[in-house]
Amino acid sequence: MRQETEQPQCQNSVPSRVCHGKEEMSKNVFLTHVQRSISALAEIERQLLFQRTLLDFFGVTNSLNVPLFLCCGTALGAHREGYFIPHDNDIDVGVFYEDLQRLGGTMEEDAQSAVVSLLSHVALDGHFVLLDICGTVEKGLELRFLHHETRVALDLNVYYPPLADDAALISQFGPFVWTASHYEDAGSRRHGMYRYRHASFREALIRLPFCDPAVASRADGFLVPPVSYLVEYFGEDWRTPRAYTYTEGLQNGEYKNIIEE
């Protein structure tokens, strides 16, 4: 990480290495919100690192007109706390498979081209490195990135329409979309991944002023799934904070919408 010298002190003693000047920090609406809720300086610094990571990633994807939204634990934090979940170790962002197709055309090959274009833009931007590619473009794609300065990981999850053999699930639950996670025992499952089912929520996406850097920026906030998405994912008590790792969540049944298969 490039070291700065003679940095000004941030307001309320925010650590200097995430501060770009007192005036800039004083206008950081997200920082002001975080400081009202969190007193630990290390956690405030962490929130700013997460903020920078998310804003940098959207800065790259906005040039491609990729319609992204917050998902999973990041969506939970946006709704519940208004900041990133303190015990989370990465940022979760989603995109619909159909939107990837529209970026290049209407065929599966065009979705692949869109992903290649995205990866190329991310590489040329220079803020992120690609850690892992899980699944395939047509089925269960999860791209894992790392911001090389903040050292914060970001996962891009693709949300898909039902598979050809999901007729029984459609009959039981109605139309749905699904996304995947990998690792742990995912390889032993029917499709080689954990699939998470959600009632279709494209038309229910809302904008929250989450992570806005400044009032003067007139930022639009971020698209986030509705509360019903959180209920499906985490249960009716989603408003109650609980700390657990991805592995612990799988073992303890914390993820309520994993498809049994």
* Rounded CA separation 30/18 (Å): 14
Q: What is the pLDDT of residue 102?
A: 86
Give, in order, the Cα–Cα distances in Å from 206 to each of 47, 91, 170, 184, 201: 22, 18, 25, 32, 10
Mean pLDDT over each residue of the chain, to the nearest integer: 86
Can you tell me which residue has the tokens 């279709």?
200
Q: Can you give the pTM of this predicted structure? A: 0.86
Write phi, then psi, for 23 (nearest 5 degrees): -65, -45
Domain assignments of the chain as residue spans, ordered by start: 64-251
* Tens digits of residue pLDDT in 100-122: 988 866 555 688 888 999 999 99
Strand 139-147 and strand 194-199: the pairing is unpaired
Contacts of residue 154, defined as CB under 8 A and 6 or more positions apart, other chains included, come to 53, 54, 57, 90, 91, 92, 93, 128, 144, 145, 146, 147
Specify the higher pLDDT residue, 254 or 105. Answer: 254
Cβ atoms 189, 170 nearer than 8 A: no
Encode pLDDT of 117-175 as tens digits: 999 999 999 999 999 999 999 999 999 999 999 999 999 999 999 999 999 999 999 99
CA distance 212 to 217: 8
The predicted pLDDT at position 26 comes to: 53
Q: What is the mean pLDDT of residues 198-220?
A: 80
